[in-house]
Chains A and B, each alone.
Chain A
Amino acid sequence: MKIVFKSMVLLFSLLLVSCGGKEEKKKEGFSVKRQKTTEKVVETPAVSETKASERVDLSNKGVGPVTSVALNEAIDDAMAASGKEVFDQMCMACHRVGKKFIGPAPNGILERRTPEWVMNMILNPDQMVKEDLLAKDLLIEFNGSPMANQGLTEEQARAVLEYFRTL
C-alpha cells in the first residue's frame, strides 16, 4: 500500500514537472473580508482628513535653506529644460510624471505647495520629515519610503521647480 502511495506521489510530481515551463493560469490571490475597525481613533484637530498628498497648503514654506522664491510670470524654458535633465537623472527612480510611483507625481505640485516647500523637500528631506508636519504625513502615506537626499545644489533644485511648472 505504502509503495503504491509513494509511486502515486512520484507519478504526480513527474506530471507536475512536465508541466513546468508553460504559462500557468493566473490564479486569483486570496482575499479576506476585513471588518471595519471599531477602535476609536483619537481625533487630532490639527490633522485634516484629506490625504497628505492632496492637502493644499500654500503658506507653509517648510524647513530648510530656502526661505523665499520669486516665480516670474513666464516660465524660463532653458531653466526648465535643465531641470528636466536633473529630474530624469536624480529623481525619476522614485517620481514619475503623471503617476503615483514610489513617491507622488510632481504634476500640479505648485497648486498644493509653496515653491519654497518644494525646494526644501528636495534639498533638506531628512529634516523635513522630522519637523514639517506635512512632510511627516507624506512619509507615512507613502509607506515610510524616505525621500532620498540626492545632493542637488540650490540652483538645480530651482531648475527642477521650473520644470514642474511645465507639467
Chain B
Amino acid sequence: MKKISYSILTLLGLAMVFTSCNQQGKSASNGALSSNAAEKVYVAPGEHDEFYAFMSGGFSGQLAVYGLPSGRLFKVIPVFSQDAEKAYGYNEETKPMLNTSFGFVPWDDAHHPDISQTNGELDGRYVFINGNNTPRIAKIDLTTFETTEIIEIPNTAGNHSSSYVTDNTEYVVAGTRFSIPVPQRDMPINEYKGNFKGALSFISVDPEDGGMDIKFQVLMPGFDYDKAHPGRGKSHGWFFFTTYNTEEANSLLEVNASQNDKDFIAAVNWKKIEEYVNNGGGTIMPTNYAHNVYDEHTQSATSTMMKEVLMVNPSEVPGAIYFLPTPKSPHGCDVDPTGEYIVGSGKLSANVTVHSFTKMLDAIENKKFAGDAYGIPILNFEDVLAGSVEQPGLGPLHTEFDNKGNAYTSFFISSEIVKWKLGTWEVVDRQPSYYSIGHLMIPGGNSQKPFGKYVVGMNKITKDRYLPTGPEVTQSAQLYDISGDKMELLLDFPTVGEPHYAAGIPADLIKPNSKKIYNLSENKHKYATTSDADARVERNGKEVHIYMTTIRSHFNPDNIEGVKVGDKVYFHVTNLEQDYDVPHGISMIGANTSELLIMPGQTESFVWEPKRVGVWPFYCTDFCSALHQEMQGYIRVSPADSDIDLSWSLGE
C-alpha cells in the first residue's frame, strides 16, 4: 500500500514538473498572455460563427461560403461553372446565366469577391465577383445566396482588376488585365505597342434592385491592369488601378515586362467622367455582350445580347486620369479606411510604396508633371509619395487594414504576413504563412469600417499541411487572430479551388435577411403548378410538358403513360412545401442532364429525351422524410408510332 502511494506521489510530482516546464516553454515562445488557439476557433455544436467569409473558388469558378473563426464550409455558390448538385447551368431556368457572346461557357476563373457597401461600410446586400477568362461580373444576392445576374464585359481580356465596389455601390469596376486590339481585328501580334488598348469598365448598380449596367468604358493605354481599389471617404470619387507591363511587351513578359524601374498606379476620377457622359460625352461603340438576369418572380433567367457600349477616350476628359509612378510591377492597390493612403505593392520591389491622396491632389493642382504616357499626365514619384515600408519582406502582394491604423501586407516570396503602422511605416509584427501567401482578408478590411479581429491568409501552396490526397492537394487558408499587438496563427482550413481573394462580414449583417422559403403565392414561373389540382401532362407535337408537384413524400403525377421514343419531355416540378429546409430532388434514368434540387415553393425544369421503349423510373434525390425511399414514379415509353393516349395518375 505504501509502495503504491509513493509511486503515485512520485508520478504526480513528475507530472507537475513536466507541466510547469511546458508552461514555461510556451510562455517563452508565444508570450505570457497566449491563450489556447483551439478555444478561439471552437464554435460549439449548434452555435453560429461570428463572421461569414466569401472566398473565391478560383479555377472552380464558384464562390464558397465559410464561417469564421471555425473555418467551416457552409455552401458553394455556383457562379460561373455548372454545378450538378444544384442543377445550376443544367436546368432550363439557369442555363441562360452562362450564356456569353461566345455561346454557352460552363466555366470561368473566379477571382475577387467584394461585398456591396453603403457610406463606405459593408451593407450585406450583394457579393460581386469577376470571371477572369471570359470577362464577366456576377452578382450574388445575399438573401438567397444565389447568383442572380451576370454581365459580360466587352473589349476586355483577363478581367482581373475587378470587381471592386465604390463607397455607395455606385459602381462595380472591371479592368482588363490583357490589353487587346479594340475593337478586335486581325493584326500582327508584334504591333502591340501603341496599338493595343486596355479598357476599364464602370458598371453602375441600381440602388433599388441592384441591376447592373455598363455605364461607360475608359480606353486606356495598352498596359496590364492588375488590381484596383476605389477611393474611400475623402478620396471617394476616384478609382485606383495598378499597372504592369508599361513596357508594352507582347512576349516573354516574365523578363520583358520587368524592365521598367517603375510602373504606374492609374488614378481615375470617375465622378468627373460620369459627369462627362451624363452630359452626352463619350462615343457609342458597336459591340456584343451578354447580360443575364435571374428574375426572382419567374424564377428563371433570361439572356439578352447587348449591342453597344459607351466608350470614353482619356483625352476627351482632361484632368480625369493621372499616373502615379510605383516601383516594380505593383500588384495590390489598396486604399486605407480614411481614403488618404494608396498602398502599391510592387511585387518585385524591396519596399511597399504608399502614396498620399492629399499630395496627389496638390501635385495635380500645381501641375507638377514628370511627363505623360499617351497624353495621360505622369506625376512625380517624390511628389505623391507618403512613405515606404522599408524592406519589410520579399514579394509584397496585397494589403488590408484593421480599425486601429495598422496595415497587413502579404509577402509571397518570403511567405509571411507583415503588420505595419500607417503614417510611421514601421513594421510591428510578422508571422509566417504556410506556404506562399497570395491575398489576405480582414472582414471589412477594404472598407471604411474594418472589423479587425481576424485576418485570413489565402495560400498558393499547400504541400504537407494536410493528409496527402495524391498529387493534387487541397487549396489552403489560414486564420490569424489580430486583436492583440501580436498576430497569432489559429487555424488551417482547406478551401474549394484557389481562393484569390475573399470578403468577410459580420454574420449579423446577413443572417436576419436570409430567405427560408419561396412563397408559393408569389411563384410566377411560367410552368409553375401551385395547386395540386393543376398537376397534369400536356402534349404539343413532340414536346411533352409534365406539370408535376412534390410534397412529402410523393410526386403528382407519379404514373405517366403515352410518352414516346423521340419525344422531348419537359419536367416542370413545383415543390409545394412551405417549410424551411424541405427541398425535394428529382432525377430520371437516361436524362442527359443533372438532377433538380427544388427549394420549397420553387419550380424547376429539366429535359428528358427518352430513347428506349420501356417503363422507366424517376425518384426523389434529396432525403425528405421517413418515406423518402417511397418517393418514386414511373413513365411508360412506347414506340414512336404507338397510339397510346397520354394519361397520368397518382394513387389510382
Contacts and interface: CB of A to CB of B under 8 A. Distances in A.
B326 to A, nearest CB: 56
B602 to A, nearest CB: 14
B582 A101 contact: no
A105 to B, nearest CB: 13
B553 A145 contact: yes
A166 interface: no
A72 interface: no
Interface in B547-583: 549, 551-554, 556, 576-579, 582
B613 A148 contact: no
B627 A143 contact: yes
Contact of A151 (B517, B549, B638, B651): B517
Interface stretch (A25-33, A50-58, A90-98, A107-115): A90-98
A148 B582 contact: yes
A4 to B, nearest CB: 30
Nearest to A94: B551
A88 B642 contact: no
A21 interface: yes
Interface in B608-628: 613, 625-627
B531 A89 contact: yes
Contacts of A150: 577-579
Contacts of A148: 551-552, 577-579, 582
Interface in B534-555: 549, 551-554
B530 interface: yes
A60 interface: no
A45 interface: no
A90 B576 CA distance: 7
Contact of A89 (B520, B577, B625, B626): B520
Interface string A125-162: 00000000000000000011110111110000000000
A84 to B, nearest CB: 11
Contact of A93 (B556, B626, B627): B556
Contacts of A143: 627
Given A90-B578, A93-B576, A21 B642 contact: yes
A12 B577 CA distance: 49
B554 A92 contact: no
B533 interface: yes
B627 A145 contact: yes
B contact face: mostly helix, strand, loop, or mixed: loop
Interface in A15-42: 20-21
Nearest to A144: B626
A contact face: mostly helix, strand, loop, or mixed: loop
Contacts of A146: 552, 625-626
Contacts of A88: 531-533
- Categorize the interface residue count of chain A: 10 to 19
A89 B582 CA distance: 17
B36 interface: no
A17 B33 CA distance: 81
Interface string B289-326: 00000000000000000000000000000000000000
B7 interface: no
A102 interface: yes
B549 A93 contact: yes
A143 B630 CA distance: 11
B533 A92 contact: yes
Given A21-B638, A148-B552, A149-B578, A90 B533 contact: no
B233 interface: no
A152 B582 CA distance: 16
Contacts of A21: 613, 638-639, 642
Nearest to B550: A93
Nearest to A145: B627
B521 interface: yes
Nearest to B521: A89
Interface centre among A20, A101, A151 (most CB of B within 10 A): A151
A145 B578 contact: no
Contacts of B553: 145
A90 B642 CA distance: 38
A101 B533 CA distance: 14
Contacts of A20: 613
A149 B579 contact: yes
A3 B576 CA distance: 57
Contacts of B533: 88, 92
A141 B191 CA distance: 81
B555 to A, nearest CB: 10
Contacts of B651: 101
A93 B551 contact: yes
- For the complex of A and B, the 8 pairs showing the least CB-CB separation, nearest first, are A151-B578, A93-B551, A93-B532, A144-B626, A150-B578, A149-B579, A92-B532, A89-B531
Given A90-B520, A93-B556, 8 more contacts: A21-B642, A88-B531, A90-B576, A93-B554, A145-B627, A149-B578, A149-B579, A150-B577
5 contacts: A88-B531, A93-B551, A144-B626, A145-B553, A146-B626
